[in-house]
Amino acid sequence: MDTTLECAWLHKTLSSCPIISYPFDIEKLPRNGIYFFYEQGELNAHDGKPGIVGVGTHKGDNFRSRISEHYLLNGMKRFDSNSPAPKDRSIFRKNIGRALLKKKNSEYLTIGEYDFTTNKEQQKHRHERDTAFEYATEEEITNILRKKFSFRFIEIDDQELRMGKKGLEGRLIGTLSHCSRCQPSSHWLGHHSPKMRIQESGLLLIQHLNDDRMTDKDKVWISRLIADGKFMG
C-alpha cells in the first residue's frame, strides 16, 4: 500500500498550521486534538520541508497535560525505585530513551523496558533500578525534546473520531508509515532504536503503523478543521 499522494497532501496541508517550539504557552493549546511531532534535520521527500516523525493524541480533555508530559513543562518530579520515571507516562519519551540507550550500547536497555506505573513491575524489578542513571537519562531526553522537536496540531473535540484504529489517528499514522518516498536522514536517532518497526517506518512510534490510509472524506474533514482552527497567538 503506497500512500505517497496522501502523505504529500498531509505535509502540504499541515504546513499552514503554526509550528510550535519550546518554550511555549501551554494555556494557548486546545483541550483536545491530534499533534504531529517534527524533528530538527528530518525532512519530508515531497517538498523538502520538515517531516513528521510522530503522531499522537489523548483521552479526555487532556491535550495540554499530554504535551506537558512529553516536554516535562512542570519539571521532573523526584522518583525512586517504587515510582515511575517520566518515560513510563510518555511513550514518545520512552521511544527516544530506547534509541539513546541502544546507541550507547547500555545494559540498562532491558530495565528501561519495564513499566513502573504498575505495582507488579515495581515489586518484580525495583531492585534492578539505578534511579540516578534513570534521572540523568530523563534529563537527556528532555533536552533533546526541547531543543530538537517541535509540533503542529489540529483541534478535534470528539475522542472517538480522533483516537486509535477507528479514529483519524490510525489513518494518519498508516498514511505516513506507508509512504514509499519519505525516509529518515542517515543521522536520525531512530535508526538506533531496538524496535525494528521504528527503524523501518521512520516514525518514533509503534502502534497503528499498518493501519489504513486517509480517505478523501478525511482530507475534507482535516481541511475544515484547519480552516476553523484556533491557533496560538
Q: What is the Cα–Cα distance from 114 to 123, expressed in whole angstroms?
A: 11
Q: Domain spans of the chain?
A: 4-70+147-227, 79-87+97-146
Q: What is the predicted pLDDT for the residue at 4? A: 97
**Residue with C-alpha cell 489540529?**
154
Q: What is the Cα–Cα distance from 78 to 220, expressed in whole angstroms?
A: 46
Tell me the β-bridge partners of 152. 36
Query: Which residues, 6 or more positions from 78, have their beta carbon under 8 angstroms from its beta carbon?
Result: none
Q: What is the Cα–Cα distance from 189 to 74, expressed in whole angstroms?
A: 25
- Residue range 101-130: mean pLDDT, rounded: 94
Given a cut of 70, whether residue 222 has pLDDT beyond it is yes
Q: What is the pLDDT of residues 35-82, one digit of tens each?
A: 999 999 999 999 999 999 999 999 999 999 999 999 999 999 899 999
Given a cut of 60, whether residue 132 has pLDDT beyond it is yes
Q: What is the predicted pLDDT for the residue at 233? A: 41
Q: What is the predicted pLDDT for the residue at 182? A: 97
Given a cut of 80, whether residue 144 has pLDDT beyond it is yes
Q: What is the pLDDT of residues 152-172, one digit of tens each?
A: 999 999 999 999 889 999 999
pTM: 0.95
Higher pLDDT, 233 or 114: 114
Residue 36: helix, strand or coil by DSSP? Answer: strand
E strand residue ranges, 44-128 = 50-56
Question: How many CA atoms are closer than 13 Å to the CA of 197, on its beta-carbon side?
Answer: 11
- Residue range 134-147: mean pLDDT, rounded: 98
pLDDT band at 228 (very low <50, low <70, confident <90, very high): confident
Write the burial class of residue 54 (CB in 10 Å: 0-12 exposed, 13-18 middle, 19+ buried): buried
